[in-house]
Amino acid sequence: MFQFKNRHLKEFTAKAKIDNRPLKAAKRIAEETINNRHSSIKFDDAYNDIIIPVTIFLIEKDITLRRQILREMAYWLDGEGKLIFDDEQDKYYTARVDSGIVTSNDLHFDSFTVEFICEPFAYTNPILVESKSITSETKLLVTNNGTYETKPVFEINGNATSLTIMTPTESITLLNINQKTIIDTEKMLCYTFSSFGNKVNKLMDLQGAIDRLKLPVGTTELTLTGNNMNVNVIVKLQEKYL
């Protein structure tokens, strides 16, 4: 059983059979052949989408009511949303349904197969992994319990002339901090909020390659340093699972 776009299949008194649920997405491979060289050079830079086909059975003797329910299900099984399976309710796929749905009907039930096209990872909801008040150089240990690297979100409250966040391989520096600021390395955004609650771009005060700051699987030591710091830093992660 599953839920999609905040609705569960059981709302329709239907049953599901998951025909093929990939455990791991296939890598996207590019190959280049070179004259007088055996084999080829292979490059893998990302993972492909995964496709999860689900066969649904709707049992209802009243054919008119059954058709009404099927049309409501067709409206539901369209577009993009979170796909959550009952046996992994702490994780979700970002899924979409592009293809049409064709039903096969019998005297008392209809069945059809829907294909969910999913991003290659299962995600957790963002979780707070660390919150620390900082006035001088500080080390934080942050643990990524997923099975793939992830990009953190930092929420910074307080004041500082500058704040530098360093992993063992990368660093970013935020200048002129005087209000709540969000650094979202996944979406490559940095912003504050107006008095009306609207996001205000602050990327001009961010130095460094925000897109390269990642946390591998396991525990990573973050170093936070800067000038005139009196801030609270919250670190959030969205863990990814292959």
Tens digit of each residue's pLDDT (9 = 90 or more) over 121-137 = 999 988 888 899 999 99
Residue 2 and residue 77 in contact, taking contact as beta carbons nearer than 8 Å? no
CB atoms within 10 A of CB 30: 10
Encode pLDDT of 101-126 as tens digits.
Answer: 888 888 788 999 999 999 999 999 88
How confident is residue 61, by pLDDT bands cut at 50, 70 and 90?
confident
pLDDT of residue 160: 96
SS3 of residue 88 by DSSP: helix
Residue 148 and residue 238 in contact, taking contact as beta carbons nearer than 8 Å? no
pLDDT of residue 143: 94
SS3 of residue 133 by DSSP: strand
pLDDT of residue 58: 93
Give mean pLDDT, residues 142-165.
95
Burial class (CB in 10 A: 0-12, 13-18, 19+), 165: buried
Tell me the one-letter amino acid at 89.
Q
Give mean pLDDT, residues 198-223.
94
Does the pLDDT of residue 37 top 90, yes or no? no
Distance CA 200, CA 56 (A): 45
pLDDT of residue 127: 85
Counted residue by residue, the chain has a size of 242
Give mean pLDDT, residues 163-168.
96
Residue 231 and residue 132 in contact, taking contact as beta carbons nearer than 8 Å? no
How confident is residue 28, by pLDDT bands cut at 50, 70 and 90?
confident
pLDDT of residue 152: 95
111 CB-side CA count, 13 A: 10
- From 73, 115, 123, 53, select the one nearest 94 (Cα to Cα): 123
pLDDT of residue 40: 72
Distance CA 190, CA 205 (A): 9
Domains defined for the chain, CATH in brackets? 2-120 (2.40.30.200), 127-241 (2.60.120.860)
Q: Which range is least confidently modeled, 6-20, 32-46, 89-103?
A: 32-46
Residue 96 and residue 50 in contact, taking contact as beta carbons nearer than 8 Å? no
Residue 46 and residue 84 in contact, taking contact as beta carbons nearer than 8 Å? no
Burial class (CB in 10 A: 0-12, 13-18, 19+), 235: buried
**Average predicted confidence (pLDDT) for the chain:** 92
Percent of the chain exceeding pLDDT 90 equals: 76
pLDDT of residue 27: 86
pLDDT of residue 177: 95
Give mean pLDDT, residues 210-214.
92
* Predicted TM-score (pTM) of this structure: 0.82
